Amino acid sequence: MSFSTNQFLLDGKVAVVTGAGGRGNSIGRAYALGLANAGAAVVLADIDADGAEAVSEEIVSAGGKAVAAGVDITQPDSVSQMVRAATEAFGGIDILVNNAALMVELTQGATAVDIPIEEWNRIMNVNVTGALNCVQAVVPVMRKRGGGKIVNQVSGGAFPAISIYGISKLALVGLTTTLARQLGREKINVNAIAPGNVMSDAGRQLTPDGSPFVKFLEATVAMRVRGAPGELVGALLLLCSPAGEWITGQVLHVDGGWVLRP
């Protein structure tokens, strides 16, 4: 089959993006806008229902299709309600972007030796189990539609994992490859995006100019150290569109050459 740039279009597709509201200039917002611009109807899912509604209104005012859904991804019943809302609004789900996660909310510098188990469980419950809750609720709908795309948001900080956050994202990499193997014959692609140092509002809060982490990146990253949320959208569209039909079980690093892998 010959290639056409039309293969990046998502007309008629329905996408759910978790963590799509709140924090202003966020990766979730950039993903939602990018999917809508490519033609998808987008469900903005976030525990911050007002934030999700704001991004939904932004898409609709620009001529796109979107609805907001308040959801707590750690609660299967809440996730099921989100899936029902998406199905009622747009007839089904073709794309799931597991973007919601705890990052800026974490106790910075907590070590594995000293972290309270309650805090550990909270991180894993959101960053790993929350993604699985969404997958378990969405996959039956994708099966009815003959396939789908799942994209999990991991992190350059998982390669290698040297923080609790990094551990949670490395676990999500494992979930990605496992799901890719188990769902591939059902035409459900499962991949991950590993961003580098993104200048979202949360990213600026965690790694301000002159911080030790930024100085470390300046000494190691092959190209530009920092990127904007919108610079992740091209990778997302590849993994969510027919252009990426033969890609599954992969982690796509978008980080200016921070993590260099063969």
> Over the stretch 16-48, which tens digit does the pLDDT of each residue have?
999 998 677 899 999 999 999 999 999 999 999
Residues 6+ apart with CB under 8 A from 182: none
Asked if 198 and 226 touch (Cβ cutoff 8 Å), the reply is yes
Q: Is 165 in the active site?
A: yes
CA 118, CA 110: separation in Å to the nearest integer?
13
Nearest to 95 by CA among 208, 241, 210, 225: 241
CA 144, CA 139: separation in Å to the nearest integer?
9
Q: What's the confidence (pLDDT) of residue 262?
A: 81
State the pTM of this model: 0.96
- Rounded to the nearest integer, the mean pLDDT of the chain is 95
Q: What's the confidence (pLDDT) of residue 226?
A: 95
Ranges under pLDDT 70 in the chain: 1, 22
Rg (CA), the chain: 17
Selected catalytic residue, list 157, 165, 188, 232: 165
> What are the tens digits of pLDDT across the range 99-130?
999 987 777 778 999 999 999 999 999 999 99
Asked if 32 and 55 touch (Cβ cutoff 8 Å), the reply is yes
Q: What's the confidence (pLDDT) of residue 171?
A: 98
Q: What's the confidence (pLDDT) of residue 26?
A: 93
Q: What's the confidence (pLDDT) of residue 22?
A: 66
Q: What's the confidence (pLDDT) of residue 138?
A: 98
